[in-house]
Structure 1
């Protein structure tokens, strides 16, 4: 008879497709092998299941929920209901575990039996080298737990049945974001928290990457997993820890952050930022135009200036993306108002349209006292059922401040789009 697993790993997911594979592989590559991995789909509509079906490993089980919850709380509760182990751990569908992550968690439970919840060290990473990385989970054992020790779920584990089975609260029930709310529930039940005091988790925060769910990627996750499996990740891990220390993000206090209520406005901004709630598509017709709105663009763009300028200056991300909410078929020409600082001019950049490189024309039209005003023209093929995305690829080494601000950048303003006549 197969022994029951020592620990259940729950991975909530929604429409990540093949990009979930590095995260799944990082779990299956654990040096401690007696676990089960439950991948729980939040009513998926893509091909994630087909990719998981190709993995021949009995420890992996996949469930796709009939109801869409729009947050990890629903899949996580389903995972807790299906768990066969006394301890649960969580791995984000775009996060990566070091091979010794589970062995360190379980060693902490074994060596300190008073612990009810154990976290490991986690590095919050970005998509570029100087992202203001943050480090969580490296705290002294906390009795009782306090707000300042919040740790993202990918580094977190807990006993399932202490004082009755715990449940994640829904995003509209909780006073805090659901991950913080869950940890606070454990604290209220008297859970004793501990840490492995070792960094074994690499996390990419979707909330800091504009349109992350609309255009998933996994190249950085795969590169990190390859380095961890090859034993060559220590130098990069130490470099990121150093960035966190320099920027004051090494074990930052969470007391103030935990007070932020997960109200409807916060949830709406979060969904817009990640690409889960998009504006209505505009029929192309003979042509359309629009201005920059005031929505949250994560680290891609700063808020739009007040009318009549209505400009968005590029943020610290070296790869800001611009949503083009136009519906149609065939080739469309886009004309975008652009502005740069006169002293530096427009930075060297390349452009992609729906993740494919495209030629562009960036022309300076006239100069003002402090700025140069130009026009960017790009042609791409739009689709009838979903928006397009214009990507800008900028030099990555022009940052300053905390968080970093781009020293040389540009701004975008109004956009015009019209169909290209067929010959």
Structure 2
């Protein structure tokens, strides 16, 4: 039996194209994180600093959910082209922005485009690759997304310090053009299965916008806690978010119903724990341990390295057992993440050795759980629902981490207001990540039983 490759003649153009697109999104996101303080200072908008990221997240929610529903009716080719154009326009506007308000608008365009692009990429994977190759392409895609975390911050910092932060945005455009050149012919040939009734698609845009508004209010309120206005905004935001989440996600996601719903819920929770850990570990190392930013970045990059290695290895394991061990690998990955975070959760005792060890273990865990969960999701997609499932996967990767980071930040802020040390606040925030993983583990077990 001939071993298939994602770079065989039939798949090569699409594989390279979507990998380049994923690297572009990953690099741009990490690069902006590095240069955001410089941008805010240069444009005299430090008071709007948080909106550099919030605008991206909220627009990404809309882009992911709207495009996810439209793909099943229109196919991914036109929507992928539109997503890249919107993302590119956002980059150009950011590169020439002369005030923070224009920059925030550009970040919203980038977020919408990025969410839509990734949803189209996942749909193409579901439709174009057989089950035996999905583990391989998702492993390569995961590697393509995390590798920029090793070089992105350094390259962005170099461009900003030696020339201008605007080059960070200009420099992404050539890779976008190459990605669309390689992948578009394949996207055009994709045939969509029978679509759902139009009535089931109605209201997606309004629900997505309502969810974005609710999320924005919720995150804004978290930043104001424990003030009364913050509490009011959190409650109002939650009330606005509940109905859209119930309507737009697979039925039973909020209750972790066994099957695809619990799989999406589990993925959102363990990915949120991963993202939160990376954010708060850097804060702990730099602000409580006096470590330089570049050294802290290298420690965090060790998780990206182990993620990349395991993401590729799991494809071999998947081929060896013909997918029978997929759920076991997801559960094992979540357990490894629990161990890794537990090693680092007590911030007063953290040091370089413990941080590197914990990060490597977390990287192995997320490399297993994240990649394999995507493979499992695509294996159970019903006919005509590839776009919806792709949108749900991308939503789990963007919405839950954004909300969780906001909650973790609120925990730290509240402990500071209560007179506790920063180390104590970060320890509690890291403990919150353990809770997310325990719930995620429960959801993954329910998925396996189904």
TM-score (norm 1): 0.24
TM-score (norm 2): 0.23
Higher helix content, 1 or 2: 2
